[in-house]
Amino acid sequence: MNIFSQPTEMPMGLGMALMKNPNAMNSFSAMTNEQKRAVIERTHSINSKEEMEAYVRTLSIES
């Protein structure tokens, strides 16, 4: 599973948060490219590591 080979560049904070949360990483990996782009777009308004980790936790809850 290579979450970094997506057509849109993965923000470093998102990638690091996903690596810490295997359930969220699996959920993200299972998304369509359009869904992944939407997740990545949402991260542009996140300003801290804590916010990013909280957002990534929601990805595992939504699946």
- Report mean pLDDT in 10-residue bins for the chain, 63 residues: 60 96 96 95 95 96 66
> What Å distances lie between residue 21 and 16, 24, CA to CA?
9, 5
Structure tokens belonging to residue 33: 């490219």
Query: 35-40: long-range contacts at Cβ-Cβ below 8 A with a sequence spacing of 24 or more?
Result: 36/6, 36/8, 37/7, 37/8, 39/14, 40/8, 40/9, 40/10, 40/11, 40/14
Q: Are 28 and 3 in contact (CB under 8 A)?
A: yes
- Give residue 6's pLDDT: 47
Q: Where are the domains of the chain?
A: 12-62
Instruction: Say what the pTM is.
Output: 0.80
